[in-house]
Amino acid sequence: MTQHQILTPRTTAADRPGRRRSLVHAALAVTTAAGLGITAAGVAGATGTGAAATTPTCSVSGLSASFGQQLAGGMNHQGVVLKLKNVGARTCLLRGYPGLGLENGTHRTLHSTTHWGDTWYAKSPAKSTLSLAPGRSAEAVVAWTHANTGTSDAVHAAYLQVTPPAATSHKTLKFPQWVDHGDLHVTALAYRIPVNG
């Protein structure tokens, strides 16, 4: 076990203030170096072989995005099951909610707001880390209301931007929909989400 000593030099007439400061600084340097050595060793031990074996977060390029089941309902509600599939060569992780956005026919970003949580069609599962082996998918349920051209603040979209959790870029899917106020609701990702309707 490493022991640390605090050196307190005696005060004598021969001691100069500069000499005392040098001794104190030397003692602190030894103590600090010992502490850093222990810390570095601890980090190396914790991450030495584990770092190479860590499963990465799914990248945008390693995922495909597609729509699954189309969902309809009363009171102008509409929805769809969104699927993210691992098309890469190794297992990767996803956790949380996808980001969403709307684009027009020329891919200009339109006003929209994404709400995370329960939707008209499904209760949002708790956030959990999903391990996607190559070829495996995760899904989320997207929902909105639409009144077509009858509402002045309805957004007429042509495409949906889908940003996977922890990503800074997105996939784009055809989405020719009217969306009231640009409001989109989406659940957290899960392997499977039961839907109503």
**pLDDT value for 72:** 87
**pLDDT value for 149:** 64
Whole-number Å distance between alpha carbons of 155 and 117: 22
Q: CA-CA distances (angstroms) from residue 103 to 40, 46, 141, 166, 187? A: 48, 45, 19, 21, 21
Least confident of 13-27, 103-117, 160-174: 13-27
**pLDDT value for 17:** 47
Whole-number Å distance between alpha carbons of 158 and 177: 7
Mean pLDDT over 158-165 rounds to: 98
Write out the two tokens for 52: 């190479």
**pLDDT value for 182:** 95
Given the DSSP bridges, would you call strands 154-156 and 137-145 parallel, antiparallel or unpaired? unpaired
Residues 6+ apart with CB under 8 A from 124: 116, 117, 118, 187, 188
Confidence of residue 35 (pLDDT cuts 50, 70, 90): very low
The 10s digit of each residue's pLDDT in 39-58 is 333 333 333 444 435 999 99
Check whether 178 has a pLDDT greater than 90: yes
Phi, psi of 6 (to 5 degrees): -100, 120
Confidence of residue 74 (pLDDT cuts 50, 70, 90): confident
Check whether 197 has a pLDDT greater than 90: no
The overall average pLDDT reported for the chain is 80
**pLDDT value for 21:** 44
Check whether 76 has a pLDDT greater than 70: yes
